[in-house]
Every structure is written in structure tokens, then in C-alpha cells.
Amino acid sequence: MLRHIDSCDLEVTKETVDDLLSRHQIFAGDRDEKQHRAKHLADDMAHGKWIPYLANITFVKYLGLSYRVNGQHILKALKQEIVPDDFILRVSALTYVAENIEDVKRLWICIDDRMGARRPPDITKCSQIGTPLEGKNVGLVHRCISAIYSILMEGSKSLWDDIKKRRFAFEKYEYEILFIEDFMEPFERNSKYMRMPIIATVMKTFQVDEKLAREFWMPVFSGVGFEPNSPKKQLYDWLNFGETKSTKSNQIAKEIYTRCIRAWNAWRTGKSTNLRWEKDGDLPTIIGK
């Protein structure tokens, strides 16, 4: 449980900002710094547009250490040359005590600064802290989360908050997500392969057999190692050069997912396929071992 233990007004100058930064740890789940955000705030400070105490900096004490969970862009802005040396940054400071890492993550997710709300990928990065997925490719992990909830669970809506939703996905699909992150990272630059229904299909095939999944998808993604007219070659051609017949986003997702499963099923049974898809048809059942 989080406990609020202090609120105060804080004045920071160019001379004291480094001391403030050194006294508090950086939370590993914080989002990456964005130069344009710091520049925007620095412009406000330099031209008299900064509103005192409108923003806040939040600290949380956990396991004997104090962590700063927001305010990185405000403090970075203060250090920029455009800001006058005599400028005094006046903000509100909030301090909490956390009992566990989940409290720290929940606090971070609930904080929005005036530059904008936490984006879903930011929440995914935060949620990875303290799990086997910590430090893994945030973009791929986030796509896995999206695939799980939009395809594998057939669009079911969760009433949980974001961090619980991700925690459930990490626990239930931990090995699948780790496989995706490791296997697909070399192909991340090809946005065609990063679509959620493709990631969902890769996860489904991994659940069937990891070795077979690697054998099937490596030629599809790399473009080498398949026989002419094989299901792998047909899927590779369609993913890279074909066009979807659907126009609505949910139908496009189902079409891609269906064609991928049909290619897998045909390869597993040694048959040919035309990657058939019907708008009103049911999703195909994946062939197991």
C-alpha cells in the first residue's frame, strides 16, 4: 500500500539541480527522455511562460532508497543554456512510501505531467520492472500485450487497470513473450511483420511447438530457405506484396491471422494452400503436433 508522507513547495535553481538529482535514484521504469519536451519547457522558463507550482515532482521511498518517478524533463529543461542563471524553478513536491515494487509502478502510471499522459508503451515499460521481461525490447513486448488482448482473447475488454492487465499477460504468456522478443527482434525494422495478428500467430505456433515455430517462421521473415510454391513462400509473398481484401481494421486483423494460420496448417500437413479467407468465415483452428 502506498502512503503519502509529505507535501511541500520546492525551489530549484541551476546551482542546486544537480544536488537534487544526485539524492534520488532514477526509477528504471521511467520513460526515455525526449529532447523536444525539455526544449519546450526551457522555452517557457526563458520567456516568462512557466507557471509556478503548476507542475510537481514526485518521490517514493522504497527499500531504503528514494526514487524520483517524474519531473525528468522539467529538471533537464532547467539546465539548458536558454534558461537564465537566476531563474528559480518552483514546483510542488510529493513524497510517498511504497511497500513493494507494484506500488512504485502503480504510482508512476498514475502520474501525468502537463506535457501529456503516459502512453500505453510507457506503461508497458514500467510494468516490465521486477519481472523476467525487465530490460527486454519495449516495443515488441508492448505489441505482444496488444496481440494477446486483441487477437488471442478475441477482443475481450478487461476492467482491470493497465498494470494489472499487463501483469496478467506477463504471468500467463511469459515464455511466449520472451520467445517473440528474442526471435522477432532482428526483423523489427520490417513493420509488415510487426502487425498484431502476425505476432499473435507466432505466439500460437510457439505454444504448439517452439522448434517447429522457428522452422516455419524463419524463412517467412527472412525470405530465404523455402521451396517454390510452398506455404511458407506463399505466406512470405502475401505478407510482403499482397493486399488485404478487408477495409475495416478488425476485419484486416482477422484476415491476416486467418491467412497465417492456413499457411501453418498447410505446412504441417504437407498440403498446398491458397491462403483462403472469407469475410464471414470462422477463424481456423491451428493444427498442433
The conformation of residue 81, written as its DSSP 8-state character, comes to: T
Strands (E) located in 41-104? 56-62, 65-68, 89-97
What's the pLDDT at 117?
Answer: 63
The CA distance from 159 to 162, in Å, is 9
What's the pLDDT at 112?
Answer: 61
Q: Work out whether strand 25-26 and strand 65-68 pair parallel, antiparallel, or are unpaired.
A: parallel
Task: Give the start-to-end residue ranges of the domains of the chain.
Answer: 3-117, 138-269
The CA distance from 199 to 92, in Å, is 43
Length of the chain: 289
pLDDT in 10s for each residue of the chain, 289 residues: 889 999 999 999 999 999 999 999 988 888 888 888 889 899 999 999 888 888 889 999 999 999 998 888 899 999 999 999 999 999 999 999 999 998 998 888 877 654 556 778 888 888 888 888 888 888 888 888 888 776 665 444 443 456 667 777 777 888 888 888 888 888 888 888 888 889 989 988 998 999 999 999 999 999 988 888 899 999 999 998 887 766 667 678 888 988 999 999 999 998 888 788 777 777 888 887 6
- Decide if 217 contacts 183 (C-beta within 8 A): yes
The CA distance from 170 to 151, in Å, is 16
Q: What is the pTM of this model?
A: 0.66
- Decide if 67 contacts 29 (C-beta within 8 A): no
- What CATH class does 3-117 carry? alpha beta
What's the pLDDT at 157?
Answer: 47
Amino acid at 219: P
Three-state SS for 186-250 is: HHCCCHHHHCHHHHHHHHHHHHHCHHHHHHHHHHHHHCCCCCCCCHHHHHHHHHHHCCCCCCCHH
213: exposed, middle or buried (Cβ count in 10 Å: 0-12, 13-18, 19+): buried
